[in-house]
Amino acid sequence: MSTATALPSASRRAPPREMRVYSHTGLLFWWPVWAAGFLMALWTLLENRHMALVSEGAEVQGRVLIAPFDTSPLLTPVHITASPTPGAVFVVTILVVLTFGSGWMRGWRAYTFTATVAAALLLIAWLDGWDELARWASYLRVHINVGGYLVLSGGLFLLWAAQVFVVDRRRYVVFSLSQVRVHNAVGEQEQAYDTGGLAFEKDQYDWFRRLVGFGAGDLRVRVGGDWVDVRNVVRVGRRLADIERLLRTKDVD
């Protein structure tokens, strides 16, 4: 009687013999800005309002625009919203990414910033200053037309895509069973190190970069007696677990 030999399942494939980890610049975290810009441009187009240029002193009576004497309004094809909300959303998105996307707002700095903002809000409430603050905020009306959103967001998207998918792919660290290869900058040669004495460190938790950067974090690798900083590694926790699993495979072999 013949016995059928069981074939190994696809789920039991041998683990990869090397692992490549890419380093990214801070531009990785700027995708919410161009995404918000495209959404605000769509909002402005759907509202379908056009901007009219009038001289100082123009009045609106019902549905009629009355221009000052010897002047005439100029109706433009520029799409713009009557509400300042889209412009405010776009500006706030830029400020949030600028504040938290640089990487310095972490650890004690993040706690200090949060405590300061909370204290300022409590002080405003204690002084009954919300109405006055709202009055001043009403003067800060941000209106951006469709062209402004598309130029800013389109240009930023092209820069972001080129950096993340082209330039950043040239800065990496390759882990294998026998050595670690480091390529820190475009145009430089790889530097190879033995895996003996290899050690890892993960920087402090940064909620913004983990959320916006798809689980990104900084990884420090000690090779050849030197520390190599691998910045903004996407899914850093999973990548570190995969590297440790790869190195354990070496010990088993």
Question: Tens of pLDDT along 129-153?
Answer: 777 777 777 777 888 999 999 999 9
What's 244's domain CATH number? 2.30.29
Q: Which residue, of 142, 165, 188, is where some domain finishes?
A: 165
Cα separation values, 67 from 1, 79, 165, Å:
102, 21, 52
User: What average pLDDT does this structure show over 164-187?
Assistant: 83
Do residue 107 and residue 188 come from a single domain?
no
Position with higher pLDDT, 13 vs 221: 221
Predicted pLDDT of residue 6: 47
Same structural domain, 100 and 82 = yes
| Residues 141 and 237 reside in one and the same domain | no
More confident residue, 201 or 173: 173
91 and 199: one domain?
no
Task: Please report the pLDDT score of residue 61 as a whole number.
Answer: 67
Instruction: Retrieve residue 57's tokens.
Output: 């002193």
CA distances in angstroms from 242 to 4, 44, 74, 246, listed in the order given: 34, 45, 63, 6
Q: Is residue 128 part of a domain?
A: yes
Mean pLDDT of 217-223: 83
Residues 113-120: contacts with CB within 8 Å, 24+ apart? none
Q: How many domains does the chain have?
A: 2
Residue 134 and residue 101 share a domain: yes
The whole-angstrom separation of Cα 232 and Cα 172 is 11
233 three-class SS = strand
Q: What is the mean pLDDT of residues 63-67?
A: 69
Task: Give the domain extent around 188.
Answer: 16-25+168-252
Residues 189 and 198: beta-carbon distance below 8 Å:
no
Q: Is position 7 within any domain?
A: no
Average pLDDT over residues 15-26: 82
Residue 37 has pLDDT above 90, yes or no: yes
Helix (H, G, I), strand (E, B) or coil at 123: helix
- Asked if residue 10 belongs to a domain, the reply is no
Would residue 174 count as lying in a domain?
yes
Chain mean pLDDT for the chain: 80
Q: Are 175 and 133 part of one and the same domain? A: no
What pLDDT does residue 177 have?
A: 78
pLDDT band at 1 (very low <50, low <70, confident <90, very high): very low
Assigned domain for 11 exists: no
Residue 12 has a pLDDT of 52
Of 56, 96, 81, the C-alpha closest to 207 is 96
Any domain includes 4: no
Last residue in a domain, options 165, 199, 229: 165
Q: What is the pLDDT of residues 78-87, one digit of tens each?
A: 888 888 889 9
What average pLDDT does range 218-232 have in this prediction?
Answer: 82
Q: 37-51, 65-79, 116-130, 238-252: lowest mean pLDDT where?
A: 65-79
What pLDDT is recorded for position 124? 80
Domain edge (last residue) among 165, 189, 208: 165
Do the domain assignments include residue 189?
yes
